Amino acid sequence: MGIIQWARIKSPWILHFPSPGCNACDIEVLAALTPRYDVERFGILLKPSPRHADILIVTGAVSKQIARRLRRIYEQMPEPKFVIAVGTCAVNGNVFQGSPFVYEGVDRVIPVDVYIPGCPPRPEAIIHGVVTLIKKIRGGGNGGKR
């Protein structure tokens, strides 16, 4: 294992992309980052720039209007990059399924590595999703690359 992959496993930096929606998933993601759960002891940090993030966490339904922005942010992230879809709206569109203005899941716009269903998912489920992704990076046959 190279030093860069070791650093990514030991210190996953995340970027939160809140798509339009009810914002319940946004609140749960931010709750997972509070001192109550203390994820910083695992090296999980919220970063404001896509150029410094390893993991993109997307919440809410992805509308056709915001898809281009989401793709641009994804492209600005350094390789290897990973995506977590949080909440039922991000996973499959939820109540927006069938709408001509909303994609039925984030994976219609960018590739997704881990799905966390729920409306909204609890902070423990979000932390478990990040840990699942870290295990996937560590033991992945593709070395964490697509």
- What CATH number does domain 3-139 carry, 3.40.50.12280, 3.40.50.920, 1.10.287.130, 3.40.718.10? 3.40.50.12280
Is the bond leading into 111 cis (omega within 30 degrees of zero)? no
Closest CA to 86 of 23, 13, 44, 36: 23
pTM value is 0.86
Q: How far apart, in whole angstroms, are the C-alpha atoms of residue 61 and residue 66?
A: 10
Q: Mean pLDDT over residues 114-137, rounded?
A: 91
β-sheet with 55-59: strand ranges across: 45-46, 13-18, 55-59, 82-86, 114-116
What are 48-98's pLDDT values in tens digits?
Answer: 999 999 899 999 889 989 999 999 999 999 988 999 999 998 998 888 888
The residues with which 14 forms a beta bridge, in sequence order, are 46, 55
Angstrom distance (rounded) from CA 42 to CA 14: 13
Domain definitions of the chain by residue range: 3-139
Q: What does residue 64 show for φ and ψ, rounded to 5 degrees?
A: -60, -30
* pLDDT one-digit tens code per residue, 5-45: 666 667 788 999 998 878 888 899 999 988 898 888 878 88
**45 SS3 class:** strand
Contacts of 64 (CB under 8 A, 6+ apart): 101, 102, 103
Q: Are strands 13-18 and 45-46 parallel, antiparallel or unpaired?
A: parallel
